[in-house]
Amino acid sequence: MASYDVGQKPGETLEHYYRRLAKTADQRLVRLERYGEEDFFHTAKQWAYAKAVQDIKKWRQPGEKIDMFRFNTKPPKDTEDLLAKINDIKTFLESPTSTKKGITDVYKKRADTINKKYGTKFTWQALAKFYTSGEAELWEAKFGSKTALKTIGVIQHKKDKIIGKILSATQKDIRVDDKMLQVTVNKALADNDLNIKELF
């Protein structure tokens, strides 16, 4: 999908330019609100959306109530202010996480980075679910983020052995070369609060 051209068109007045950008931005805000209800996209109202909401609040007129967060409101009278608001709208429209594809790309890059760094085997969907379900916070609270990811990497690589042990309810003890990691892996496998099956 080609990125939206945020430049002012020849012959386009500043107000028409503002209205065009604001309308496009508002359509994206509506879509992000809908995406936030879908699997893997619960973070849609974070990142670019959250920044846009901050900017919209900043431009609220005195006494104006905001039911929905939208850019397309009465333009500022002062030209400098209008240009500043246009820049806020452009920032939102140029942000990768203002679109579904952009959010997906962010998760794909993050999954690639985490997988290379920690030896995990996350798909972008599994990583999105891990972070949006609250599971990541639980792991990080118990082990710290880096140790948690290293532990998850070991567990994912030993998937077949672990699933067998979980299903047979035998002692969850998996051999690991790193002694410190051995401790956290066994703690994780024995911890009933952690949803190990969600990692596969």
108-141 pLDDT tens trace: 999 999 999 988 889 999 888 888 888 888 888 9
Average pLDDT over residues 137-146: 88
- Note the pLDDT of residue 157: 80
3-state secondary structure of 5: coil
Strands (E) across 98-160 are located at: none
Provide the pLDDT confidence category of residue 161 given band limits of 50, 70 and 90: low
pTM tops 0.85, yes or no: no
What is residue 194's DSSP assignment? S
Pull the structure tokens for residue 150.
């290293």
- Note the pLDDT of residue 61: 77
3-state secondary structure of 160: helix
Looking at 34-38, 67-71, 98-102, which range is the least confident one? 67-71
For residues 65 and 71, the answer to whether their CB atoms sit within 8 Å is: no
With 0-12 CB in 10 A as exposed, 13-18 as middle and 19+ as buried, what is 194? Answer: buried
12-43 pLDDT tens trace: 999 999 999 999 999 999 999 999 999 889 88
- Note the pLDDT of residue 163: 56
- Note the pLDDT of residue 136: 85
CA atoms of 47 and 154, how far apart (whole Å): 30
